[in-house]
Amino acid sequence: MRVSLWSEFLNNRQRTIHKWTHYFAAYEAHFQRYVNRPVLFLEIGCGRGGSAQMWKRWLGPHARIVGIDVNPECAQFAEDQIAIRIGSQADMGFLQSVLDEFGAPDVVLDDGSHQMAHVVETFRYLYPRTARDGVYMVEDLHTAYWDEYGGGLGREGSFMELCKRLMDELNADWTRGQLPPTEFTRTTLSMHFYDSIAVFERGRHEVAREERISGRRALVNSLLRRKG
Ligand SMILES: C[S@@+](CC[C@H](N)C(=O)[O-])C[C@H]1O[C@@H](n2cnc3c(N)ncnc32)[C@H](O)[C@@H]1O
């Protein structure tokens, strides 16, 4: 029987994990498909090491967890299936060295400094370098509204303001030329928002979009007549 991530958390007898309880539904919704798959899971911010162990237990034997943190003490959290690299998420040279060593991550979970400048920079660098069908999650985004993290309601430079613009970019094809489609438009399937969490599901639109109608022939015909 599969153990839920929530059970993994509740029954944790290993290193300490620090989480808001309402995050678990989002984790399960977006990471479940990687369970027992060969996934490269990049966690930014190791804390006390327990979350990396939780991902390892839940994702199974084929998962590789890479934790990055500025705190050198986190190096001790390395174990089978868990690699730790020490550096700042705001250092793109460091991020690139992690990519060079491990390859493109399938999952990025940003639980690092929560400073808006860092979250934005990290996203801009890592998102296009995440696996083309991967998922990018940023948590603790309540800091996007807090001054001491460079946030504030509607404040330029906060990650939430970037997200608002990206929502338009996702739909650029429908703006009748007002907004040219970008790399983000072409590589993003969906964006999801929860309390304090933003998630980006990557994936190219391989087929042109098309409208289709299904149903009983008579009903479909009458609908088509009405559409003109
Ligand atoms: C909230 S804790 C992570 C908690 C852990 N993921 C968990 O769920 O238990 C945040 C971590 O981010 C690290 N951190 C702070 N600034 C950072 C930066 N610029 N780059 C990378 N990690 C950073 C801190 O050292 C700390 O370990």
Band of pLDDT at residue 208, cut at 50, 70 and 90 = low
Name every protein residue with a CB atom under 6 angstroms from any ligand 1 atom: 17-19, 43-47, 50-51, 68-71, 88-90, 111-113, 118
What is the pLDDT at residue 216? 85
Catalytic residues: 114
Average pLDDT over residues 92-107: 98
Name the closest-CA residue to atom 27, ligand 1: 47
Please provide residue 147's backbone torsions phi and psi, each rounded to the nearest 5 degrees.
-55, -45
Q: What is the DSSP string of 69-119?
A: ES-GGGGGG-BTTEEEEES-TT-HHHHHHHHHHH-S-SEEEE-S---HHHH
Distance, CA of 67 to CA of 167 (rounded, Å): 29
Name the closest-CA residue to atom 2, ligand 1: 47
What is the pLDDT at residue 1? 60
pTM above 0.75, yes or no: yes
What distance in angstroms lies between residue 119's CA and the mean position of ligand 1's atoms? 12
Average pLDDT over residues 195-199: 98
Distance, CA of 54 to CA of 46 (rounded, Å): 12
Average pLDDT over residues 36-53: 97
List domains and CATH numbers for the chain: 5-227 (3.40.50.150)
* 52-81 residue pLDDT tens: 999 999 999 999 999 999 999 999 999 999
Average pLDDT over residues 12-35: 95
